Structure 1
Amino acid sequence: MEAIKQWTIENPTLYSVFKYVLLVAFVLILIQLLRRFLRKHVTDTDARYKSQKGIEIIGYMVLIVLSFSYFTGSIEDFTLAIGLFSAGIAFTLQELILSIAGSFFIFIVKVYKPGDRIEINGIKGDVIDVNSTYTTMMEIGQWVSSDNYSGRIVKLSNAFVFKGPIYNYSQDFPFIWDEFNLPIKYGSDIELAKSIVIKIASETLSEYTANSKSQWTEIVNKYYIEDAVVDPTLAVTLTDNWIQFNLRFIVDYKKRRLTKHILNDKILLEVEKTKGKVTLASTTFELIKIPELKVDVKNKI
């Protein structure tokens, strides 16, 4: 004990730093204990998540206040302490501080929240958690076609919100435009084909169209953006092989694959009912001229 007291007297700055580390460790442990308590005793998922995030944010704010109070009131050589602290931030904690700042930016500006589907730093997925340093996503795409889960959970530093664009599929307007092409064979009844595609699209997508109109009106009033057509539209293009129908429509951002499957399935059934009046095309080759072949056969006995 005497040796420890003598060391504290001879090294007051190191002793103060040691006490500060213990203080930080105590606050961090207290935050984790409170989060664990809430996780076990709060049954509502939404309330549990928000209360845990609240405890985490409050804990870090308390830690910042205590740090300023401690450094300004307990260390005699304040200039040396500030120099060491700044050097640590510059070379060691820069990414961490930027991540923490990013978490505040995400919550305050409402860049995204758990449940949103976003694309950030080239990665697409559904946000399943946002903590003080990382955003956790359930990845979609990659080797899996369409917007299906790949099964991988991705953790991204919150610092990325300052480093590039963030694409939000669901914020303010939870619908997206999608499209696909239909090849119609030359010689088909084009007007009948148009009526089939538009009728099926209008009936199948009526709920999405109705819900999106009111929300799109709010978007137009909120942002500097022109009005857009949310009803299904059909464009016709003549190609070398067929008449291409391009169907453009609006759909729930989580139901692109299912909706496209339903539309294709219904259109195929209706086309088959026309008994050849409308035919779907495929890649074909037309032989313009067959070269003449001369065969001279002589029978020898």
Structure 2
Amino acid sequence: MENLEYLSQWMEAHPTAAALIKYLFWAVVVLGIIQYLRRLLRKNITDSNVRYKSQKGVEVFGYLLLLILTVSYFTGNIKDVALAIGLFTAGITITLQELILSIAGSVYIFLVKVYQPGDRIEINKIKGDVIDIDSIYTTMMEIGEWVSSDNYSGRIVKLSNAFVFRGPVYNYSRDFPFIWDEFNLPIRYGSDRELAKELILKIASEELSSYVHQSEEQWKAVVGRYYIEDAQVAPSLAITLTDNWIQFNLRYIVDYKKRRITKHRLNELIAKAIEQTGGKVVLASATFEIVRVPVLQLDSEEDNKKGIN
């Protein structure tokens, strides 16, 4: 107590020295905060570009606050140090808005359950399977790009969680882990259309029966939860007449992870069934077929003379 009283009396007797000590104390605090934030950013931000800019931003606003403190103590224009701290906090918030949005995004993803590890999503025009979610980034195994269909490209993508606030998030598996797919079959004119319809729908119904049964139950839950109309989950066939062939469009529901293999299996079975019809059903193509060669009649030189005479 005596030491504190003595220090208080000494500071009252030497106001200039006391102000200088206070200034040095707050300067050390500001520098300490700067170093602490830089270490924190260096440990938690893996992206080198974002890490570099964040650290530089902290340094700039830290030195700006140090300048404000200097003006405060040596000119007397700013007496309340709390105001300087407030300005420093606001500056840090502006500089680290990407980091703050990412952390807020991770909280939003967790609470609202936008997606979770194992889901297949598309966000910021990047599609893939979610393999990890941390406080700043969502890690995805990319699909598509230079490979066909829904195959993995082999690239692991780290995407800022802030993107959940900046655009739509397409989830292939969250509430309804099935998608509708379709493909066209060109059937030659003159084929038995009824037989073609029968065999295509029969194969699709047999091959997709498990998906249809599972999706019916889950679609009822979707209809009950959202304002949405009921939909047909059984395979359907639509026919369009074109200039070259009869186009059969097969639409069906499939597990979102088995789209490619299911389409391959259906094409293989339908092609085999068409071959077994003995020509009653024939697949069309864009090749040209010469049905008959026209007879060309050439006039002789005598016939031309007679014609002239």
- Shorter chain as denominator, the TM-score bin is 0.7 to 0.9
- CA shift at 1:139, angstroms? 0.5
Which residue of 16, 30, 54 maps to 1:17? 30
- CA shift at 1:8, angstroms? 6.9
Q: Which residue of 2 aligns with 1:164?
A: 167
CA distance in 1, matches of 2:106, 2:245: 52
- CA shift at 1:285, angstroms? 3.6
TM-score (structure 1 length as normaliser): 0.76
Letter in 1 for 2:93: I
Letter in 1 for 2:129: D
Residue 130 (structure 2) pairs with residue 127 (structure 1): yes
- CA shift at 1:89, angstroms? 1.7
278-287 vs 81-90, which deviates more?
Answer: 278-287
TM-score (structure 2 length as normaliser): 0.74
Q: Does structure 2 conserve the Cα–Cα contact (< 8 Å) formed by 1:172 and 1:219?
A: yes
Q: How does 1:141-152 map to 2 (within 5 A)?
A: 141-152=144-155
* Root-mean-square deviation over aligned CA pairs: 2.7
Q: 1:2-35: per-residue Cα shift (whole Å, max 9, x none)?
A: xxxxx9754121222344457668989999xxxx
Q: Which residue of 2 aligns with 1:259?
A: 262
Q: Which residue of 1 aligns with 2:111?
A: 108
Secondary structure at 1:104 match in 2: helix
Cα 1:190–1:217 change in 2 (3 A) is same
Q: Which residue of 1 aligns with 2:12?
A: none
Q: How does 1:176-195 map to 2 (within 5 A)?
A: 176-195=179-198
Residue 102 (structure 2) pairs with residue 99 (structure 1): yes
Q: Which residue of 1 aligns with 2:157?
A: 154
CA distance in 2, matches of 1:238, 1:134: 50
- CA shift at 1:94, angstroms? 1.1
Letter in 1 for 2:114: V
- CA shift at 1:85, angstroms? 1.6
Cα 1:26–1:286 change in 2 (3 A) is closer
Q: 1:213-251: per-residue Cα shift (whole Å, max 9, x none)?
A: 000000000000000000000001101111000000000
Residue 93 (structure 2) pairs with residue 89 (structure 1): yes
CA distance in 2, matches of 1:186, 1:166: 44
Q: Which residue of 1 aligns with 2:13?
A: none
CA distance in 1, matches of 2:177, 2:190: 40
Cα 1:29–1:134 change in 2 (3 A) is closer
Residue 245 (structure 2) pairs with residue 274 (structure 1): no
Unaligned 5+ segments in structure 1 are 1-6, 32-75
Aligned residues between the structures: 249
Cα 1:87–1:284 change in 2 (3 A) is same
CA distance in 1, matches of 2:293, 2:30: 92
Cα 1:226–1:14 change in 2 (3 A) is same
Secondary structure at 2:101 match in 1: helix
| Greater Rg by CA | 2
Q: Which residue of 2 aligns with 1:79?
A: 83
Cα 1:115–1:147 change in 2 (3 A) is same
Q: Which residue of 1 aligns with 2:203?
A: 200
Q: Which residue of 1 aligns with 2:7?
A: none
The percent identity for this pair of structures is 61
Q: Which residue of 2 aligns with 1:44?
A: none
Q: 1:94-124: per-residue Cα shift (whole Å, max 9, x none)?
A: 1111111111111111111111000011110
Unaligned 5+ segments in structure 2 are 1-19, 45-79, 303-309
Q: 1:103-157: per-residue Cα shift (whole Å, max 9, x none)?
A: 1111111111111000011110001111111111111011111011011111111
CA distance in 1, matches of 2:218, 2:88: 53
Secondary structure at 1:11 match in 2: helix
- CA shift at 1:207, angstroms? 0.3
Q: Which residue of 2 aligns with 1:222?
A: 225
Q: Does structure 2 conserve the Cα–Cα contact (< 8 Å) formed by 1:8 and 1:15?
A: no
Letter in 1 for 2:298: K
Letter in 2 for 1:277: K
